[in-house]
Every structure is written in C-alpha cells, then in structure tokens.
C-alpha cells in the first residue's frame, strides 16, 4: 500500500512542459520545433491545421463514439505541433517497456499455469482467481509459443525531466497505433522540411513487425505459410478504421465473425474459392464475444467453436484469451512487485502510487480526500466511470462516495498527477495542453519489439487531464529525435 506519495506528484501550479521544461528555454529536442513555431505565421499554422483535418476526413480516418447515433463518424482532432522525445529518453523508456511487458507475459503464464506468484503471496490469490477477467476456460492451457499479450499498449505520463510513470497497462486489445502511423504520414506531407531538419526515427516499420510477431506464434507445423487474419467486430465498431488499416498494411484478410467457421477444431474462412485454413487471428473482439459457445451466448461477433480450436492448439489468438487479468487496475498496483518477482530486477518504469480501496485503511484515507484524488473502476477503460476529484462538482463527489462505500473492491484511487504539457495549436494560438504517451510493445516467439514512438494523446480543454479520444481528446505525432 502506498499511502506516502511524494509531494511532487500532486498537482502543482507549474507543470513540466515538453518544450520548455520548468523554465522558458526550449529543451534540446525542441530547438527545431521552437524555431519553426516562431518563424511560421500563426495564420499559416491555422491553415495547415485545417488542411490536416480535411485530409484526415478524406482518408476516412474516423472513429465512432458510443452513445451517439450508430454509424456516426467523427475525426479525432489532430494537433500539428509534435511531441518530441530525445533518443536517450527513449532508450530508457524502451528498456522499461520491454521489462514491463516481459513481466506481464510471465505473470499471465504463471497465473494460468503453476501460480507461483500466488503461492509466494506476492499478489493476493482472490484478486486473481476471483477476478471477472480471469478466464477459467483457459486455466492450464498455454497459448502457442507461450505468448499471452502479443500487442500491449502501455500508457505513460511524465511529471518532470526524468519522471515517467506508467498510468495503466493495456494487455487486451489496445488501439491507437493507426493514429501513430497516420499522424506521421500527415506531418511528412504538411511539414517535410521540419522533419528533415529534426532527424526523426521512423515508425513505418510497425506493420512489418506486427506481421512478423503474428507469424512467429503460428501453431506447430503451420509455421511455413500460416493463414493470418484480423478479426473485427465490424464497421460500426469505434476502431474499425484501425482494423482495416492494419489488415491492409500487413496484406492479410480483414474478417468478421461470420466469415469464419470451425470444423473438427480447425478454423477456416469462407472465400470465393471455398474454405481456407486460418492459423493466426489478430482479434480485435473482446474475450466475452469471441465464441458464443464458450462465452456470451448472445454474441453475434464471434465464431462458434473457436475456443475449442484454440484449446486444441490449432489456432493462435492474439492477444490470447484471459489477458484482461493483467491490466486490471487492482493488479496494476502490484506491478512493481510483479516485475521484481519475474525479472529479478528493479522496475525501470515507475508506477503511480495507488490506493486499493478494497483495503479498509486505504478506503478510509481515500474517502477523506476525494476532492484531491482520481478514482477509477478497476476494470474500466476509455476514461469512462472515473472521478477526477479536483475537477468534480460536490454532487459528483458524493455520488462516488456512495459507490465506493457500496463496492470498494471495484475501485482504486491515485493522486492527481501534474501531467506534462505540450505546446498545442488552439484556436490559432499556441497554448500548453496536458499529454500522455502510449507506446506499442510487440511480443512474439522471437522476442520483444518496440517502434520508436507511440501515440501522444492531448487533452484539448484547458487544464483538463482526460486525454481519451472518447472524451474529446486529440492526438499528436510523437518524435524520437537524435540528441
């Protein structure tokens, strides 16, 4: 339990700025960007911003917002001022990411296998075994080549020059990588000279690396020319653009549940030339919907019999079934111990201090200072169902107090971090806005890979800390620039 968070983590008046740090001078990686911002007239920046929006709409890079009219397509706002990291900052982050994802995979293999970490008492047994994301259907079953979370998105925030924290791990079906790639394409199209001067590491190898990762986990005997597909819930899904984008870039079929069927524990897709065998499925459908025979019987998105093919070892699912137990926010609070337990090393990336409301002492402390804390549901995502204390009304705080008292085990609380800010074009003016960073980590049978960059999300409302696209956040291109 972390009840003694260091004071510099709390919301401070002067947040760290990606361009100027705590002062007014441009940090080294931002020299080119600063010069560019000073040299370019504001109306030209504005024009370029509008041009970017036009191009994105034309490309059809849209997403749907749940709760709006079905099929309504919106653009995620794109900001033209890049977020820049130096090569040396990145190298440290990368080592931390690799270490963390290796620990996540080891943890998953363990809790569905020998359960050593539970027997050692490092993580409480009930937190894992009674977790709604713990899939009993795959207990004792190792996925092909032993990899559970092939594609992980690790959300990082920064509070100072060297202070990066992991805000959450996404080990199920993290999205956003298409924006990482398309944002870079957009910047190259709009500002080729700037990119030329800044010497930015390329991210365009991601689809190749993803394909390589998927190939590497093909079932035994199918390694030669595995049938690989991307499984989407369909074009009403909020991330459909990304699903089709990735399938296209990898040159594999984009399928829906109805395109697949299972016979004798082998998965096939229906093609114009008859059935064709499928060996690896990059699925963007949640566990609960993947097979109506094994999970939710009302699911029309899944494939009947898929789980039995999976358990027979005839198909690889990426990510594997049951990874949700590792990105639960209550498990998150144990990540430093989990990293130490499996790697024998000190965690390179820090965790945000977290109160687990299931513990009575922690709950008491959280209830006493709800107006200062961020309270999240342990299995929530997308910025839904959370309380940002300093920005909440009295009524919202009281409503959360009741929820906390009723089911404390469903919540964790964290201090409100002073997220770093990044210069952002807002209504024709450059203003600081809070940002986070989601790099994507690929794990195959042949190792862990990270492309230099990630998705920077930006909270466009002044002072807001919520960067989720479903809550009106925007994105920026993320540069790893030579020092």
Nearest distance in Å: CB 303, other proteins: 14
Collapsed DSSP state (helix, strand, coil) of residue 191: coil
**Considering beta carbons, is residue 39 or 273 the nearer one to other proteins?**
273
Please name which of 449, 454, 445, 368 lies closest in space to residue 413, comparing C-alpha atoms. 368
DSSP code of 285? Answer: S
Nearest distance in Å: CB 267, other proteins: 14
**Considering beta carbons, is residue 235 or 391 the nearer one to other proteins?**
235
- The site for other proteins (CB under 8 A) is made up of 57-60, 234-235, 240-241, 244-245, 247-248, 253-256, 258-259, 269-273
* Buried residues in 285-310 as b, exposed as e (16+ CB within 10 A): bbbbbbbbebbeeebebbbbbbbbbb
Rounded distance, CA 49 to CA 69, Å?
A: 27
Collapsed DSSP state (helix, strand, coil) of residue 207: helix
Rounded distance, CA 92 to CA 79, Å?
A: 26
**Considering beta carbons, is residue 231 or 363 the nearer one to other proteins?**
231
Answer yes or no: are the C-beta atoms of 335 and 347 closer than 8 Å.
yes
**Considering beta carbons, is residue 60 or 390 the nearer one to other proteins?**
60
Nearest distance in Å: CB 109, other proteins: 33
DSSP H or E stretch at residue 274? strand 274-278
**Considering beta carbons, is residue 55 or 388 the nearer one to other proteins?**
55
**Considering beta carbons, is residue 301 or 320 the nearer one to other proteins?**
301
Q: How many other C-beta atoms can be found within 10 angstroms of the C-beta atom of residue 395?
A: 8
Radius of gyration of the chain (CA): 22
Burial class (CB in 10 A: 0-12, 13-18, 19+), 264: exposed
Nearest distance in Å: CB 268, other proteins: 11
**Considering beta carbons, is residue 169 or 182 the nearer one to other proteins?**
182
């Amino acid at each position: 339990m972390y009840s003694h968070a260091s004071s510099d983590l709390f919301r401070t008046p002067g947040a760290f700025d990606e361009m100027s740090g705590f002062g007014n001078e441009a940090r080294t990686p931002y020299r080119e960007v600063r010069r560019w911002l000073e040299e370019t007239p504001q109306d030209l920046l504005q024009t370029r911003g509008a041009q970017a929006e036009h191009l994105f709409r034309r490309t059809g890079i849209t997403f749907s917002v749940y709760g709006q009219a079905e099929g309504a397509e919106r653009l995620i706002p794109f900001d033209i001022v890049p977020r820049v990291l130096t090569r040396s900052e990145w190298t440290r982050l990368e080592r931390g990411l690799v270490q963390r994802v290796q620990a996540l995979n080891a943890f998953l293999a363990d809790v569905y296998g020998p359960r050593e970490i539970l027997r050692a008492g490092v993580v409480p047994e009930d937190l894992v075994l009674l977790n709604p994301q713990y899939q009993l259907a795959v207990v004792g079953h190792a996925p092909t080549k032993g990899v559970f979370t092939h594609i992980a998105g690790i959300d990082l925030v920064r509070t100072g020059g060297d202070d990066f924290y992991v805000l959450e791990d996404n080990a199920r079906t993290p999205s956003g990588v298409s924006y990482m790639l398309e944002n870079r394409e957009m910047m190259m199209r709009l500002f080729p000279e700037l990119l030329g001067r800044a010497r930015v590491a390329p991210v365009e190898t991601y689809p190749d690396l993803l394909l390589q990762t998927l190939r590497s986990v093909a079932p035994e005997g199918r390694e030669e020319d595995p049938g690989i597909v991307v499984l989407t819930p369909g074009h009403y899904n909020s991330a459909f653009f990304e699903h089709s984008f990735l399938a296209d870039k990898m040159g594999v079929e984009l399928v829906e549940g109805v395109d697949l069927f299972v016979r004798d524990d082998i998965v096939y897709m229906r093609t114009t030339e008859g059935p064709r065998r499928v060996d690896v499925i990059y699925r963007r459908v949640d566990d609960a919907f993947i097979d109506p025979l094994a999970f939710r019987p009302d699911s029309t998105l899944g494939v009947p019999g898929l789980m039995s093919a999976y358990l027979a070892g005839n198909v690889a699912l990426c990510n594997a079934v049951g990874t949700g137990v590792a990105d639960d926010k209550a498990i998150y609070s144990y990540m430093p111990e989990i990293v130490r337990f499996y790697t024998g090393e000190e965690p390179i990336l820090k965790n945000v201090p977290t109160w687990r409301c299931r513990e009575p002492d922690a709950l008491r402390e959280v209830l006493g200072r709800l107006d200062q804390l961020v309270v999240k549901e342990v299995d929530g995502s997308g910025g839904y169902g959370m309380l940002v204390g300093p920005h909440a009304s009295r009524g919202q705080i009281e409503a959360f107090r009741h929820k906390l008292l009723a089911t404390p085990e469903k919540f964790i609380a964290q201090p409100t971090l002073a997220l770093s800010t990044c210069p952002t074009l807002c209504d024709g003016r450059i203003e600081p806005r809070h940002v986070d960073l989601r790099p994507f980590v690929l794990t195959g049978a042949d190792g862990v890979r990270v492309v230099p960059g990630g998705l920077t999300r930006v909270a466009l409302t002044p002072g807001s800390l919520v960067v989720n696209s479903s809550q009106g956040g925007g994105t920026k291109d993320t540069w790893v620039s030579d020092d």
